[in-house]
């Protein structure tokens, strides 16, 4: 493989995260069909606001409030909102949930749960989320669940995330924790993102990038080369190819 091809494969992987095969827009369009609309929406772990903005663009939300502790992401989210002329509906703040006192009709966690669970256990997280949900409100959790891996390349995608510190509960774990918080899953959909497989070079880049990202947020440096060695058998089993974020499962939960 020549350098240009390697570069374009790495760029395709980064672009995949941004585009996600249009799944953010597809999930937002399905949510937008909720009778009576989505009301006041809170997007937790909003990052650069990609899902929050997809929801706002449907016109089904009264307001969308995106929160993320990472100031840099919030600056970008505000910039993109302005560019897409959605700033009248969308607001972004660099805060965590404990600083939010309003109630919301819709709370969303898009690809955010494994990151949040690095710093908080699932039960206290869901308890504080449920406390911010209006009585007839809905909680939307979208992301990959490890038991949905269709083959060794998708399983390796999950193994890479787990190896670098993301906490990946199974769908059954999430449903059980929602139940303990007084919520039950009323809808479930699964979307294929069309992720292209990546090779060892892009996997190593992913580990290094995620390690820098976690360190920038105060985590201790990980032993990336040790992690890479431990992943050896899984890499061999997947013939050196991984599919990251290949499938997004969306759960909608409401009060029991
Ligand atoms: C994968 S990213 C964002 C995905 C984003 N929702 C999207 O659609 O592109 C997960 C985000 O969770 C954020 N995060 C981590 N811990 C958090 C917390 N306690 N509260 C809110 N956000 C948190 C991280 O800063 C990160 O930006």
3-state secondary structure string across the chain: CCHHHHHHHHHHHHHHHHHHHHHHHHHHHHHCCCCCCCEEEEEECCCCCHHHHHHHHHCCEEEEEEECCCHHHHHHHHHHHHHCCCCCCEEEECCCHHHCCCCEEEEEEECCHHHHCCCCCHHHHHHHHHHCEEEEEEEEEEECCHHHCCCHHHHHHHHHHHHCCCCCCCHHHHHHHHHHCCEEEEEEEEEECCCCCECHHHHHHHHHHHHHHHHHCCCCCCCHHHHHHHCHHHHHHCCCCECCCCEEEEEEEEEC
Best residue among 16, 31, 44, 45 to mutate for probing ligand 1's pocket (most ligand atoms within 8 Å of CB) is 45
Residues contacting 109, CB < 8 A, separation 6+: 43, 44, 45, 116, 129, 139, 140, 141, 142, 143
* CA 165 / ligand 1 centre spacing (Å): 14
* CA of residue 254 relative to chain centroid, distance: 20
Q: How confident is the model at residue 196 (pLDDT cuts 50, 70, 90)?
A: very high
Q: Measured from the CB, is residue 52 less than 6 Å from ligand 1?
A: no
Pick the residue whose CA is nearest to atom 11 on ligand 1.
45
Judge whether residue 193 has pLDDT over 60: yes
Task: Take residue 97 and report the two structure tokens written for it.
Answer: 């949930």
Residue range 210-242, pLDDT digits in tens:
999 889 888 889 999 999 999 999 999 999 999
Say which range, 16-25, 39-48, 119-128, has the weakest mean pLDDT. Answer: 16-25
* CA 24 / ligand 1 centre spacing (Å): 15
The CA angle 184-190-195, to the nearest 5 degrees, is 140
Residue range 82-117, pLDDT digits in tens:
999 999 999 999 999 999 999 999 999 999 999 999
What average pLDDT does this structure show over 28-46? 98
User: For the chain, what is the domain count?
Assistant: 1
The CATH number that applies at residue 228 is 3.40.50.150
Determine the structural domain holding residue 161 and report its residue range: 3-255
* CA of residue 244 relative to chain centroid, distance: 12
Closest atom of ligand 1 relative to the 52 alpha carbon? 8
Judge whether residue 12 has pLDDT over 80: no
Q: How confident is the model at residue 29 (pLDDT cuts 50, 70, 90)?
A: very high
Closest atom of ligand 1 relative to the 47 alpha carbon? 27
Q: pLDDT averaged over the chain?
A: 94
Pick the residue whose CA is nearest to atom 6 on ligand 1.
46
Pick the residue whose CA is nearest to atom 12 on ligand 1.
45
Best residue among 46, 94, 143 to mutate for probing ligand 1's pocket (most ligand atoms within 8 Å of CB) is 46
Cα 21 from Cα 85, distance rounded (Å): 23
Q: Measured from the CB, is residue 110 less than 6 Å from ligand 1?
A: yes
Pick the residue whose CA is nearest to atom 14 on ligand 1.
45
């Amino acid at each position: 493989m020549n350098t240009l091809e390697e570069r374009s494969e790495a760029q395709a992987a980064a672009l995949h995260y941004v585009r996600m095969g249009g799944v953010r827009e597809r999930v937002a369009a399905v949510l937008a069909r909720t009778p009576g609309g989505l009301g006041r929406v809170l997007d937790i772990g909003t990052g650069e606001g990609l899902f929050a903005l997809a929801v706002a663009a449907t016109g089904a939300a009264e307001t969308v409030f995106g929160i993320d502790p990472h100031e840099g992401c919030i600056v970008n989210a505000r910039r993109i909102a302005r560019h897409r002329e959605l700033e009248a509906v969308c607001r972004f703040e660099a805060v965590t949930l404990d600083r939010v006192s309003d109630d919301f009709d819709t709370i969303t966690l898009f690809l955010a749960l494994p990151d949040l669970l690095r710093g908080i256990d699932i039960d206290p997280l869901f308890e504080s989320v449920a406390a911010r949900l209006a009585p007839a409100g809905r909680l939307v959790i979208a992301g990959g669940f490890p038991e949905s891996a269709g083959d060794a390349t998708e399983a390796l995608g999950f193994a890479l995330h787990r190896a670098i510190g993301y906490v990946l509960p199974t769908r059954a774990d999430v449903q059980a924790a929602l139940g303990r918080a007084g919520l039950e899953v009323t809808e479930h959909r699964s979307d294929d993102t069309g992720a292209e497989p990546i090779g060892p070079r892009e996997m190593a880049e992913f580990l290094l990038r995620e390690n820098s990202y976690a360190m920038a947020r105060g985590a201790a440096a990980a032993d990336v080369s040790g992690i890479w060695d431990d992943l050896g058998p899984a890499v061999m089993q997947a013939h050196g190819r991984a599919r990251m974020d290949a499938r997004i499962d969306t759960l909608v939960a409401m009060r029991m």
